[in-house]
């Protein structure tokens, strides 16, 4: 067993028990995948990160779900930088992270942490009826055509007509498997639709979203920073968001309200990146003993 320092951070929140939690294991980037995924399952969190030294950036960050390693994730990035900042490991107002999706630059403005996600990749547009079936909604609940979009991690971005449809959505795992196959989600267990409405959960918000998740992850993600970037890129590309910067909200239905400021980089028709900013509240600090192999 080896002892590692860790921080439990609520990301996209300025208070405890809001946004989305992430455990950041410092200097644990060399641990094997099976140890890291077992740790995620032990925490019952959606994702955890493991940091380490990097030859190409200030820090290396590895991201894990309960089932696998993923190249990038949004709320764990906010959580990781908040944890590093809290421990005095970041000097100045900027830091770079080596991730599986490339180098991610992060700016720090007081308590606000802003990551720049990579330029969006727009993939296939699946049958809206199949997307609707995957979330147990009628096809007419969907506005326009859903699309696979990635700013580091792919999601099926799906705009819904109103808050009632958003709240009624429930995963149908059989239909979700068919959707995943149609989208050709190589290396991704399931391609869950990222559902969004074009009004906020509060007066401060411009959008309100949900991400329902398939096992072994928890049933719903409180706040999804990577999907928020993909969603914003989709809205700008399809002319559904006219603001250059807007406020995205998620998690309110779970009692874990989260908020992000999203800003486009480049023109809407040719984005070169998406900036997603939020705060992180360090809830717990401690030590964890982890095996070097299973």
Task: Give residue-wise pLDDT tens across range 157-168.
Answer: 999 999 999 999
For 33-81, write each residue's pLDDT tens digit.
999 999 999 999 999 999 999 999 999 999 999 999 999 999 999 999 9
pLDDT at 96 over 70: yes
Q: How many CB atoms lie within 10 A of CB 202?
A: 12
Give the C-alpha separation, 123 to 148, whole Å: 5
Q: Which of 93-97, 180-184, 194-198, 241-245 has the lowest mean pLDDT?
A: 180-184
Helix ranges, 101-217 (H): 128-134, 163-168, 173-183
Distance CA 276, CA 12 (A): 10
Judged against a pLDDT cut of 70, whether residue 270 lies above it is answered with yes
pLDDT at 218: 87
Q: Which residues fall within 8 angstroms of residue 64, CB to CB, at 6 or more apart?
A: 33, 36, 37, 39, 40, 47, 48, 49, 50, 70
Contact criterion met (CB below 8 Å) for 84 and 282? no
Interior angle at CA 94, CA 109 and CA 259, nearest 5: 45
Q: Tell me, letter by letter, the H, E, C secondary structure of 100-133.
A: CCEEEEEEEECCEEEEEEECCEECCCCCHHHHHH
pLDDT reported for residue 188: 52
Give the C-alpha separation, 179 to 190, whole Å.
9
Q: What is the sign of the dihedral through the CA atoms of 4, 80, 171 and 166?
A: positive
What share of the chain has pLDDT > 90, as a percent?
91
Asked if residue 190 has pLDDT above 90, the reply is no
Q: What is the model's pLDDT at position 8?
A: 98
**Continuous segment of H or E residues that includes residue 86:** helix 74-86
Q: Other C-beta atoms within 10 Å of 172: how many?
A: 17
Q: How far is 148 from 7, CA to CA, in rounded Å? A: 33
The helix, strand and coil proportions of the chain, stated in percent and rounded to the nearest 5, come to 25, 40, 40
Q: What is the mean pLDDT of residues 163-178?
A: 96
For residue 202, pLDDT beyond 80? yes
| pLDDT for position 187 | 45
Q: What pLDDT, on the 0 to 100 scale, is given for residue 185?
A: 65
pLDDT at 186 over 70: no
What would the two tokens of residue 11 be?
């990301």
**pTM score:** 0.92
How sure is the predictor about 149, in pLDDT bands with cuts at 50, 70 and 90?
Answer: very high
Confidence of residue 216 (pLDDT cuts 50, 70, 90): confident
Q: Which of 43, 124, 129 is closest to 79 using CA atoms?
A: 43
Give the pLDDT of residue 294. 82
**282 pLDDT above the threshold of 50:** yes
Tell which residue, 230, 227, 217, 229, has the closest CA to residue 48.
217
Average pLDDT across the chain, whole number:
95
158 vs 215, higher pLDDT: 158
Q: Which sign, positive or negative, has the C-alpha torsion 220, 223, 229, 233?
A: positive
């Amino acid at each position: 067993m080896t002892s590692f320092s860790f921080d439990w951070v609520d990301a996209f929140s300025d208070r405890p028990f809001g946004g989305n939690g992430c455990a950041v294991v410092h200097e644990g980037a060399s641990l094997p995948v099976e140890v890291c995924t077992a740790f995620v399952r032990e925490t019952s969190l959606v994702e955890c990160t493991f940091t380490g030294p990097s030859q190409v950036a200030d820090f290396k960050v590895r991201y894990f779900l309960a089932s696998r390693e993923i190249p990038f994730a949004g709320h764990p990035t906010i959580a990781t930088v908040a944890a590093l900042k809290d421990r005095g490991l970041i000097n100045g107002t900027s830091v770079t992270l080596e991730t599986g999706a490339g180098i991610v630059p992060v700016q720090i403005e007081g308590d606000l942490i802003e990551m720049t996600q990579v330029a969006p990749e727009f993939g296939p547009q699946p049958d809206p009826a199949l997307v609707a079936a995957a979330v147990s909604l009628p096809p007419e609940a969907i506005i326009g055509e859903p699309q696979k979009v990635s700013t580091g991690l792919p999601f099926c971005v799906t705009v819904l007509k109103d808050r009632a449809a958003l709240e009624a959505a429930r995963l149908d795992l059989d239909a979700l498997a068919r959707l995943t196959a149609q989208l050709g989600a190589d290396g991704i267990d399931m391609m869950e639709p990222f559902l969004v409405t074009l009004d906020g959960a509060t007066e401060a918000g411009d959008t309100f979203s949900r991400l329902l998740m398939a096992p072994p992850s928890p049933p719903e993600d409180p706040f999804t920073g990577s999907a928020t970037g993909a969603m914003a890129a989709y809205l700008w590309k399809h002319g559904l968001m006219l603001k250059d910067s807007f406020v995205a909200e998620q998690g309110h239905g779970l009692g874990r309200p989260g908020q992000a400021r999203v800003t486009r980089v480049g023109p809407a028709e040719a984005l070169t990146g998406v900036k997603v900013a939020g705060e992180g509240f360090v809830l717990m600090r401690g030590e964890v003993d982890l095996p070097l192999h299973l």
